[in-house]
Amino acid sequence: MTTPASLLYPLTLAVTAFKEDEYDYHFHVEAPEPNTCPGCGVVDDLVKYGKNDQAYRDVPIHGKRVTLWLQRRRYRCNSCMSVFRPALNDMDESRAMTKRLMTYIEKAVLYRTNNEIARECGIEEKTVRLVFAAFVERQKGQLEFVTPRVLGVDELYLQKQFCCVLTNIEQQTVIELLPNRSLELVTSTFMALPDRKNVEVVSTDMYKNYLAAAREAFPHAKPVVDKFHVVKMANEAMEVVRKSIKKGLSDHHRRLLKNDRKLMLMRERDLTPLNKLVISEWFDKIPALGEAYASKERFFKLYDASDLKEATLAYDEWRRTIPAGQEELWGGLAGTVDRWRGPIFNYFTMDYRVTNAFTESANRKMKDLNRATRGMSFDSFRAKVLLGAKHKVVRSRVAKASPFDGTFMGRWTPDMAGYDETVRNYGTPLSTMDDILYGNEPVA
């Protein structure tokens, strides 16, 4: 095998000429000659009937684009007089490229941009997009991840609408992206999960569709409103109170409140001695601000509680001690907690604290990925996240035969027994999204 021909292995093509320039390798190649007519099946009664060169792109070699100039021949069968061109098993003729280049593109586009791959392979960006779109279409419905015991549900703002993200919180993986968060779609997705009875906990924010879908699909599961969203809502309420108080101050007192937003949102336990001195002076001059800060701290004691009873007492204490004149300002927070009291307080009924922190982390990664791949369709974006090569997969093997049944002679090895193997795919970990973001394509 000559050196140029060896570069094309295992393609079944004979290299007749080879040229190289600064950016490209050019191979002049021929396909094996047929000996049977595909029409009538007669053997060895064919004659050559014209030829021309056709260009096919192949996988880049040594950082250079590769073009195969294939000498396409027509043949005529003397028996049935039909004229034909032999099929090319290594080629995708509709896209004028080798099948292995298509496979290369399908894998590479999961980790790199379409434009990068198009430049590397010497093809149009549109071609890369079409190859990947066909790949995505073939893969629809093919992915089946293990249904999580603790299901995380959140949303991600993509392409001017909210998409729904499902995660396996215990395994720290993403298992699904939905194009919207409608009740119908979320419910049907939940209902379609294999072994959905295995879901014991659903961690979510305070979006009514998620709770309604979870109650229908997992009536036995415990919904838990994520701590992050309650804390965020409390901080937003503190901001409303702070701005309202500040609005009624004199210019002199407003000038005293330098960096007041930052300090009012900090937990008391996180304040430095200097911070405490500063806010103490504020509270002496503006008592209503001190009362608001103390009210916020009493609310946060809810999440310092060790069990449901302590959390309930902490919340009821906060409710009773809202400062006079600030009831309406804190009313939004109080009303929401009252409406969602069951799912919020489920957080304290479990042996372990369930939060959606991993889902939030995954959302941040996907936002970064969305910026890096702007303009990509939702299906393509979903494929990048869910079809990444590095899934969290666990394999377990169980021997089918006993090594002690007396039939083995000599030294027994595990291979003699034979195994049943179970493969459990838990989905996409954050490391895969890092690989996609930074172009770290895994080695096969």
pTM as predicted: 0.73
Residue 422's pLDDT is 63
How confident is the model at residue 444, as a pLDDT?
36
What integer pLDDT is reported at residue 443 of this predicted model? 38
Going from the first residue of the chain to its last (444 residues), give the mean pLDDT of each consecutive group of 10, the final group possibly shorter. Answer: 72 89 92 85 83 91 93 87 85 92 88 85 92 82 82 87 91 90 95 92 94 95 92 92 89 83 91 93 92 93 92 94 92 94 93 84 80 71 76 61 55 53 70 60 43
Residue 41: the pLDDT is 83
For residues 374 and 20, what is the distance between their CA atoms, to the nearest angstrom? 36
Together in a domain, 279 and 394: no
Expressed as residue numbers, the domain containing 29 is 3-139
Give me the residues paired with residue 77 across strands.
46
Task: List residues bridging with 429 in a β-sheet.
Answer: 173
Amino acid letter, residue 96: A
Does residue 114 belong to any structural domain of this protein?
yes
Res 270: pLDDT: 93
Alpha helices in 321-429 (DSSP H): 327-339, 341-345, 357-372, 378-386, 414-417
149, part of any domain:
no
Residues 242 and 303 in one domain: yes
**Is there a domain that residue 232 lies in?**
yes
193 within a domain of the structure (yes/no): no
Same domain, 16 and 129: yes
Looking at residue 67, its amino acid is: T
The reported pLDDT for the residue numbered 142 is 63
Q: What is the DSSP letter of 7?
A: H
Tally of domains in the chain: 3
Looking at residue 33, what DSSP letter applies? Answer: P
Q: Which of 111, 139, 167 is the last residue of a domain?
A: 139
Closest alpha carbon to 425 in 188, 176, 218:
176
The answer on 386 and 317 residing in a single domain is: no
pLDDT given at position 360? 83
Residue with tokens 């770290």: 440
173 found inside a domain: no
Answer whether 210's CB lies under 8 Å from 153's CB. yes
Q: Strand, helix or coil at 297?
A: helix
Looking at the fold, whether 431 and 373 belong to one and the same domain comes out as yes
